[in-house]
């Protein structure tokens, strides 16, 4: 009986997170301002954190990774928009995007290519890539346990 309640609770929370994500993506597509777009995904990350226990570790990590990868893409877009007028802000956004990508698959070539491209952009703007990212594109001491809370 208790197992059934936990199972039902997990299904309800999973559906809630899926609905939150779908709504956020719809809003993201309707808004041009990158900061607002990022804030919608931050709301979903907040919900994932709120219901982490009910979702279970594996499912929470899966959703967190998915949302943070989307958020990293939006941060890169925002940085590219800011590059001419606010290069320091663009560097900060690129670094935040790197931190969002750390949750991804370190063995995935496409993922590694994104990381290297962002690092190159930071350097091209005269910024310094954080030491935690200088170990040949690997996580360098970053663990999946220390995820940012949005």
pLDDT of residue 46: 95
Q: For position 54, what pLDDT does the model report?
A: 87
Q: What's the pTM?
A: 0.75
In a domain, 100, yes or no: yes
Least confident span in 46-50, 121-125, 132-136: 132-136
Q: What angle do CA 115, 100, 59 make, to 5 degrees?
A: 120
User: Does some domain include residue 141?
Assistant: no
* Residue 146, in any domain of the structure: no
Q: Is residue 142 part of a domain?
A: no
Residue 98 maps to a domain = yes
Rounded CA separation 96/111 (Å)? 15
pLDDT at 142: 42
Q: Is residue 94 part of a domain?
A: yes
pLDDT in tens, 72-127: 999 999 999 888 899 999 999 999 999 888 755 556 788 888 889 999 999 999 99
Q: First and final CA of the chain: distance in angstroms?
A: 34
Handedness of CA 8, 10, 11, 12 (dihedral sign): positive
Write down the pLDDT at residue 107. Answer: 61
Q: How confident is the model at residue 2 (pLDDT cuts 50, 70, 90)?
A: low
Query: In which domain, by residue range, is 88 found?
Result: 2-133
Backbone CA torsion sign across 118, 121, 123, 125: negative
What Rg do the C-alpha atoms of the chain give, in angstroms? 17
pLDDT of residue 24: 94
Residue 99, token pair as written in the block = 């931190």
CATH number of the domain residue 21 falls in: 1.25.40
63 occurs within a structural domain: yes
Residue 120 inside a domain? The answer is yes
pLDDT at position 100, please? 87
């Amino acid at each position: 009986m208790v197992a059934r309640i936990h199972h039902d609770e997990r299904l309800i929370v999973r559906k809630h997170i899926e609905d939150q994500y779908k709504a956020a993506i719809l809003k993201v597509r309707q808004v041009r301002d990158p900061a607002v777009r990022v804030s919608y995904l931050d709301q979903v990350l907040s919900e994932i954190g709120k219901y982490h226990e009910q979702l279970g570790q594996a499912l929470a990590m899966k959703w967190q990774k998915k949302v943070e990868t989307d958020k990293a893409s939006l941060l890169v877009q925002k940085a590219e928009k800011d590059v001419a007028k606010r290069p320091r802000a663009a560097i900060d956004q690129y670094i935040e995007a790197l931190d969002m990508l750390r949750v991804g698959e370190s063995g995935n070539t496409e993922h590694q290519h994104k990381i290297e491209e962002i690092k190159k952009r930071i350097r091209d703007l005269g910024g310094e890539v954080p030491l935690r990212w200088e170990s040949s594109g690997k996580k360098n001491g970053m663990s999946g346990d220390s995820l940012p809370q949005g």
